[in-house]
């Protein structure tokens, strides 16, 4: 399954996500902090969707109520519906 998720409240604008059999195959962020988001994408590759959600949900960026990792967890939750 492949989706493009429009983020809210972050420097990144979208996240491209590919999931196969409940496992994260590929993630790419559009915009945002390139190095950090490339690192995040590589770290979650091969992980179960539920584990990624559990680890990243609720992370904040500075004074913002969300972050790119939190938005990724929201995108993955959205995919499960």
pLDDT digits 0-9 by tens, 32-75: 999 999 999 999 999 999 999 999 999 999 999 999 999 999 99
Distances (CA, A) of 34 to 30, 38, 68: 9, 6, 11
- CB-based contacts of 80: which residues, under 8 Å, 6+ apart? 49
Q: Rounded to two decimals, what is the model's pTM?
A: 0.95
Containing structural domain, residue 51: 2-80
Calpha distance 80→17 (Å, rounded): 13
Q: How many folded domains does the chain comprise?
A: 1
Calpha distance 42→64 (Å, rounded): 24
């Amino acid at each position: 399954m492949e989706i493009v998720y429009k983020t809210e409240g972050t420097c990144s604008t979208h996240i491209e996500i590919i999931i196969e059999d409940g496992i994260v195959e590929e993630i790419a962020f559009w915009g945002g902090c390139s190095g950090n988001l490339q690192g995040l994408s590589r770290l979650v590759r091969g992980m179960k969707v539920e584990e990624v959600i559990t680890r990243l949900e609720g992370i904040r960026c500075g004074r913002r109520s969300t972050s790119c990792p939190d938005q990724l967890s929201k995108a993955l939750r959205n995919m499960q519906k």
